[in-house]
């Protein structure tokens, strides 16, 4: 079995940071995490030796919400608010994407996530016109090596809506076609309350639960959306989800910017996780989610970048720092969301420990922006950029080492993307 020894690093263990420490990987799992220097006999046995000097060694980051179909649309927001931006630019461009465009934009988005230290991604896959489009995304997802969940988006109300039967049959097809895979899973991804009926939400949520998966849903992103919910249902969004019995531990509530105290109580009671996307919410002028209140009420929170169209990068380090900054600005409290707590909202596990899947990253702290490192959590949360990530390992497979991506030819991918975007702009009639 392939073995890797990572030595001389600052390692995040169950007891906290240890320096130096070492990590021993056997096959796809971590089998030892220890303080001190690695024993000579272990060094002699190692199939691969990685020096982590001046690096933090920690679990990989989770990007809990993005839309990789938007990778070709970064930089296009142009100061529009959420709904006009979606209707005038994003949805028409998405309608013009070919399966090959989607394959390339998925690869590009995943490579960007990988190079920023993300090992697990939830890709809220926007409604695709054909099976070939979605299958191209699934195949691309498997080729990069990250752990990807494709949350199959759908709408059954409004423009370009799908019929409820088509939505449920395609969701069943995806669960059947892409099952028992180590790196790719499927989830239910209704788009937003005002475009999804209660009955189809209930049906698709049941299918997801039967397949051991979850529902991933934009909720209360903007004030307009809250008002539409009040007009359509007479209820606030989270209250409505609770009333149709879709709120629970397997319902991921993405955004939750415009939730009130009662809704926060419902989220906590139901055990429904919230996915917080502070950079996207700020860029689109949607507001600042009440993160401190959610956490203090015991709501489980994860972080996401959101799609490249509403957050031009997939850099989770920027998202982590923004979560801290905006929470303090909102609460007028410089002690809110301290760095250790912020980091743990973004990493896949709280620490590296034996018998965990070998999903981990090395982050370089030997650069002027991080020096001096008084506190590792602060250096990571407040001073790190995606470009500081040195090495990424998923399931014992080295996907990036010394900043070089090993699972894909990046220069060729960039050239293919440049060419594809030029053609896409012409087809969608977007002028320079
Ligand atoms: Zn989104």
How far away, in angstroms, is 425 Cα from ligand 1 center?
A: 22
CB 193 within 8 A of CB 240: yes
CB 92 within 8 A of CB 125: no
For range 104-132, the mean pLDDT = 93
How far away, in angstroms, is 328 Cα from ligand 1 center?
A: 24
CB 424 within 8 A of CB 105: no
How far away, in angstroms, is 280 Cα from ligand 1 center?
A: 8
For range 40-66, the mean pLDDT = 97
How far away, in angstroms, is 85 Cα from ligand 1 center?
A: 13
Distances (CA, A) of 138 to 104, 150, 185, 186, 339: 12, 7, 9, 9, 35
How far away, in angstroms, is 67 Cα from ligand 1 center?
A: 6
Q: What is the number of other CB atoms lying within 10 angstroms of the CB of residue 79? A: 8
pLDDT-derived band of residue 96, with 50, 70 and 90 as boundaries?
A: confident
pLDDT-derived band of residue 373, with 50, 70 and 90 as boundaries?
A: very high
pLDDT score recorded for residue 431? 54
Poorest-pLDDT segment among 75-89, 173-187, 317-331, 381-395: 75-89
Strands 215-219 and 251-255, how do they pair? parallel
How far away, in angstroms, is 254 Cα from ligand 1 center?
A: 7
How far away, in angstroms, is 210 Cα from ligand 1 center?
A: 25
Strands 215-219 and 61-66, how do they pair? unpaired
How far away, in angstroms, is 70 Cα from ligand 1 center?
A: 10
Q: Which token pair is 125?
A: 């896959």
How far away, in angstroms, is 179 Cα from ligand 1 center?
A: 25
pLDDT, mean over the chain: 94
How far away, in angstroms, is 124 Cα from ligand 1 center?
A: 7
DSSP state string for 101-116: HHHHHHHHHHHHHHHT
How far away, in angstroms, is 79 Cα from ligand 1 center?
A: 17
pLDDT score recorded for residue 430? 64
**pLDDT of 88 higher than 70:** yes
How far away, in angstroms, is 218 Cα from ligand 1 center?
A: 6
How far away, in angstroms, is 353 Cα from ligand 1 center?
A: 32
Closest alpha carbon to 183 in 144, 153, 216: 144
Residue with tokens 């939730």: 259
- Give me the percent of the chain exceeding a pLDDT of 70: 98
Model confidence pLDDT, tens digit, residues 329-370: 999 999 999 999 999 999 999 999 998 999 999 999 999 999
pLDDT score recorded for residue 155? 95
How far away, in angstroms, is 423 Cα from ligand 1 center?
A: 25
**pLDDT of 432 higher than 70:** no
Model confidence pLDDT, tens digit, residues 190-214: 999 989 999 999 999 999 999 999 9
pLDDT-derived band of residue 23, with 50, 70 and 90 as boundaries?
A: very high
**pLDDT of 111 higher than 60:** yes
28: Cβ contacts below 8 Å, ≥ 6 apart = 357, 358, 395, 396, 397
**pLDDT of 428 higher than 90:** no
How far away, in angstroms, is 392 Cα from ligand 1 center?
A: 25
Category of 234 on φ-ψ map: left (φ > 0), alpha (ψ -120 to 50) or beta: left
Distances (CA, A) of 36 to 250, 271, 298, 412: 40, 39, 36, 42
Q: Which domains does the chain have, with CATH numbers?
A: 3-60+349-401 (2.30.40.10), 61-344 (3.20.20.140)
Alpha helices in 297-363 (DSSP H): 316-331, 339-344
pLDDT score recorded for residue 80? 75
DSSP E strands in 140-260: the ranges are 147-154, 184-190, 215-219, 251-255
- CA neighbours closer than 13 Å in the CB half-sphere of residue 3: 12
């Amino acid at each position: 079995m392939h073995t890797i020894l990572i030595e001389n690093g600052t390692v995040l263990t169950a007891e906290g940071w240890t320096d130096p420490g070492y990590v021993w990987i056997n096959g796809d799992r971590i089998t030892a995490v220890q303080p001190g220097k690695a024993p000579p006999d272990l060094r002699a046995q190692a199939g691969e030796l990685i020096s982590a000097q001046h690096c933090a060694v920690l679990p990989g980051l989770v990007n809990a919400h993005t839309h990789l179909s938007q990778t070709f649309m970064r930089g296009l927001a142009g100061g529009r608010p959420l709904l006009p931006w979606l209707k005038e630019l994003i949805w028409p461009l998405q309608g013009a994407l070919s399966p090959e465009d989607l394959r390339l934009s998925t690869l590009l988005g995943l490579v960007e996530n990988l190079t920023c230290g993300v090992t697990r991604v939830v890709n809220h896959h926007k409604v695709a016109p054909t099976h070939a489009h979605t299958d191209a995304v699934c195949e691309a997802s498997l080729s990069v090596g990250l752990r990807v969940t494709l949350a199959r988006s759908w709408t059954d109300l409004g423009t370009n809506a799908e019929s409820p039967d088509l939505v449920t049959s395609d969701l069943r097809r995806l669960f059947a076609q892409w099952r028992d895979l180590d790196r790719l899973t499927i989830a239910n991804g209704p788009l937003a309350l005002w475009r999804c009926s209660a009955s189809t939400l209930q049906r698709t949520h049941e299918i997801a639960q039967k397949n051991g998966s979850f529902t991933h849903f934009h909720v209360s992103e903007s004030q307009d959306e809250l008002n539409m919910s009040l007009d359509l249902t007479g209820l606030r969004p989270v209250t409505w989800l609770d009333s149709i019995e879709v709120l629970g531990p397997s319902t991921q509530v993405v955004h939750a910017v415009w939730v009130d105290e009662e809704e926060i109580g419902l989220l906590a009671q139901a055990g429904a996780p919230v996915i917080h996307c502070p950079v996207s919410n700020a860029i689109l002028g949607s507001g600042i989610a009440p993160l401190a209140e959610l956490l203090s009420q015991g709501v489980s929170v994860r972080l996401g970048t959101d799609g490249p169209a509403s957050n031009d990068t997939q850099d989770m380090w920027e998202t982590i720092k923004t979560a801290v900054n905006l929470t303090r600005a909102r609460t007028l409290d410089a002690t809110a969301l301290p760095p250790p707590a912020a980091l743990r909202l973004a990493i896949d596990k709280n620490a590296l420990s034996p018998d965990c899947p070998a999903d981990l990253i090395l982050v370089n702290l030997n650069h002027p922006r991080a020096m001096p490192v008084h506190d590792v959590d602060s250096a990571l949360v407040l001073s790190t950029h995606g470009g500081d990530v040195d090495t990424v390992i998923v399931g014992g497979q080295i996907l990036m080492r010394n900043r070089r991506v090993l699972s894909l030819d990046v220069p060729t991918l960039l050239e293919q993307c440049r060419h594809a975007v030029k053609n896409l702009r012409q087809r969608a009639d977007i002028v320079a």
